[in-house]
Amino acid sequence: MRVFMTAMSKGGAVVLSMLLLFTSNSTLADLFDSYIGTENVVIQKPALNSSIIGEALTGWINSGMKKVVGGSSLGYGSYGLTISSSTSDVSYSESGKNYTVYHVALPNGSPSGIGFVLRTYSKDCYLGGGTCSSPVLHVQDTFNGYKVFRDGGFWAYDIHYEYEIKFITTSQDIEPGPYLLGGSNIGWGNFGTLGKEDVATVRLNAFQLEYKQSGCTASLSPAVINMGVVSPLLFTGVGSTVASNAPVTVSLQCSTPDIGVLVTMTDQNNSSNSTNKLQLTPGTASATGVGVQFLKDGGSPVIYGPDSSFVDSSSAAQWRVKDKATLSNTAQFVLTPQYIQTASSITAGEANAVASITFAYD
């Protein structure tokens, strides 16, 4: 508020005329569009129909912190993220979290055969106090278009989003060759205050997907493992194991001799399982209190993880079975199953488990 005073003489008296001018600092903070950075994706498969629907093609690609709201004037009491890309019917789980898989479209608008999952970290500063929050993780989860990151409380300004994206197969029918994908808007950030909502665009950067028809075909001997009848009396407590004399040999026939091969095993009864024990297939006559382990060559238990056809040095679930320096078109490795007690008491019954094997190449 500013006050202007003018002195005037009237009838021997002095009259003060005041003009009150009000200026407002209640303008909204600045909004910024943001983008999701990507990297080129190379898929290597020995046959066109060997893609596993729902397998990860990349690791988490981080775009870095992006400022989506700036300024120090009136901020926002709530904010979040809406993804407008069409959803697929593919499911993806990781570390106990379920993600919506969104389609990545071809330039003509049709599905490309791959999709993406997304997680976002948000942080902000509070209007008036100047206190800034630590980044908070938000997962775009099943059947969720709009994800609320914050709803109410102090008005926030200087808001940042940090995107992480991972690409997932949504089809087995990906034609070989290069594709230029992305380069379009996939949603918007939502920012609400004073009964209204503002939005800022979120864009997926362009990237190239290349499907190379190379890799290894696998055969298992035997394809179905019969571990035989095991008495509950053979177990001695939680963590005790009963060995099986039923190893399975996995043989590889590769398209080139200078290819490296890594393996990930996935629990098909629980794709988010990241332990070293397979869950049993549920059923009316199922055993309880036990699980199934696989031992790798060398005797260490396999750690399970999501289907993954890319080399991920950070993954505890992936291990190497062939080095690219080993110039050979063939390779093999052995997996040995065993039962492990998982609870203090065991109920006799069927103890079946199902696992898949995904190969990654370098």
Same domain, 49 and 186: yes
3-state helix, strand, coil in the chain (%, to 5): 0, 55, 45
Confirm whether 38 is domain-assigned.
Answer: yes
In the three-class reduction of DSSP (H, G, I as helix; E, B as strand; rest coil), residue 234 is classed as: helix
Q: pLDDT tens for residues 9-23?
A: 333 333 333 333 323
Give me the pLDDT at residue 68, please.
Answer: 92
Domain interval for residue 291:
216-361
Tell me, yes or no, whether 278 and 197 share the same domain.
no
Same domain, 181 and 303: no
Q: Are residues 93 and 185 in the same domain?
A: yes
**140 plus 156 within the same structural domain:** yes
Q: What's the CATH code of the domain at 306?
A: 2.60.40.1090
pLDDT bin (cut points 50, 70, 90) of residue 147 is very high
CATH number, position 80? 2.60.40
Among 212, 232, 257, residue at a domain's last position: 212
Question: Using one digit for the tens of pLDDT, what is the confidence trace for 265-281?
Answer: 888 888 888 889 888 88
State the Cα–Cα distance between residues 132 and 127, nearest whole angstrom. Answer: 10
Mean pLDDT confidence for 221-225 = 79
Same domain, 250 and 164: no
Q: What is the pLDDT of residue 16?
A: 31
Whether residue 122 is predicted with pLDDT greater than 90 in this model: the reply is: yes
Q: Write the pLDDT tens digit of every residue in 7-64.
A: 333 333 333 333 333 233 344 568 899 999 888 887 777 654 456 788 888 888 899 9
Q: Give the SS3 label for residue 4.
A: strand
Strands 248-254 and 290-295 come out as unpaired
Q: Specify whether 249 is located in the same domain as 321.
A: yes
Average pLDDT over residues 115-131: 83
Q: Are both 199 and 157 inside the same structural domain?
A: yes
Beta strands 184-193; 196-204: pairing state: antiparallel
Q: Is the pTM of this model over 0.95?
A: no
- Residue 92 CA to residue 142 CA, distance in Å, equals 9
* Same-domain pairing of 259 and 160: no
In a domain, 48, yes or no: yes
**For residue 21, is it within any domain?**
no
Quick one: how far is CA 186 from the chain centroid? Answer: 17
Query: In this predicted model, what pLDDT tens digit does every residue of 321-349 receive, in sequence order?
Result: 888 888 888 888 888 888 888 888 888 87
Which pLDDT score is estimated for 51?
63
- Residue 14 domain-assigned (yes or no): no
- Which of 212, 245, 265 marks a domain boundary? 212
Residue 50: its pLDDT value, please? 57
* Element at 174 (helix H, strand E): none
Residue 1 lies in a domain: no
Segment holding 40, helix H or strand E: none
For the beta carbon of residue 195, count every other beta carbon within 10 angstroms: 5
The DSSP bridge pattern shows strands 196-204 and 61-70 to be: unpaired
Q: Are residues 185 and 244 in the same domain?
A: no
**Which of the two residues, 223 and 336, has the higher pLDDT score?**
336
Residue 169 lies in a domain: yes
Same domain, 230 and 330: yes
- 190 band by pLDDT with thresholds 50, 70 and 90: very high
State CA 293 to chain mean position distance: 26
Last residue of a domain, one of 212, 236, 264: 212
| Each residue's pLDDT tens digit, 65-110 | 989 988 756 678 889 999 999 999 988 888 788 899 999 988 788 8
Q: Are residues 190 and 268 in the same domain?
A: no
Q: How many domains does the chain have?
A: 2
- Burial of residue 187 (CB within 10 Å: 0-12, 13-18, 19+) is buried
DSSP for 265-316 reads: EEETT-TT--SSSBPPPP-TTB-BSEEEEEEPTTSPBPPP---B-S--TT-S
